[in-house]
Chain A
Amino acid sequence: MGRADRPIECVSIGIAMNEPDKDEGIVLTEAQKRARRSRSIAIALSLAALVVLFYVMTLVKGPVVLIRPM
């Protein structure tokens, strides 16, 4: 196994990458797409609500927000 072998490997990889991708991988059904979209929207809304909660609580507490008594 010497350095001379490597260009041949690179060429073979290059050819493989230029070939059309016959395997399309996992294809979602319409129901799965709808479910994924609804989950994504729910996650986005939850994160937005969390941001708003932290923002408003910071306004409410003011500088005291850094003081968290036991």
Chain B
Amino acid sequence: MRLLTIKDLSLQNEGYFAFKHVTFSLSSGESILINGENGSGKTQLIEAIAKMKNTDGGRVHYEPGINAALMPQDTNMVVNKKVGSYLSDSRKLAGKNAINEKQLEDIAGYLGLATYLDRNVSSLSVGIRRRVEFLNATVGRPKILLLDEPFAFQSPKYVERMTNLIDDLKSNGSAIVVVSTRQNQATLKLFERRYLLKNKSLESIEDQITDCILTFRTMPDSMAITREINSLIISQNSSLIELKVPLRIKDRMIKNMIDLNYQFEGERIVED
């Protein structure tokens, strides 16, 4: 079921377009990542999707009866409430779809927030505050979840846990939009589609990715490298070899190197 439709959306601010003619849709259980440089308009786009901006063209359509929640980028707003009370109020505002108090406590513990429930929200560090805001956005189990830089200032442990919670929401039918300046390799698997907000327009990012870098460790019984593989080497020392390979032949190259007794260490995406 299609939950969110964005059609030809444009926003102008003080004579400059933040973005133009943005179009995409999201179905139940789908998630997308929107990357972009600083100042590219990602926050304005996600706030427009949350219907918090008066746009200059196009429309944002939610499936009737669907609730949306936004985790904002801005955590400077003063909130003179205790964390527990802040989250509890959000839970009550979300109505019958929200998690119960016990679940809230459990998830707070899972995100490392259990010891902060009696602290004032405004006294928290940036990283903890952002995790509180993440939980604040998800307590209502929204059908459309909009996250602005959710993984900023988070350690890998909590990035993984937040990813698990997002995955859980997806499996329960929520649609997720994440905007981020950087691509976090650990979370890439979460997204069905990726976009790049560049030059005021949204481009599908799949077209941009052509190569990846594969890292292998030389073992005592490693065999000589073939001419084909040799042409792909970008760096080599006594123990590690890095190959830059087109995505379409990545799996074959990994198999070939493993067959030659090299240990596969990892991969990373190279974008244009």
A binds B: no
Taking Cβ atoms with an 8 Å cutoff, the residues of A that contact B are none
Taking Cβ atoms with an 8 Å cutoff, the residues of B that contact A are none
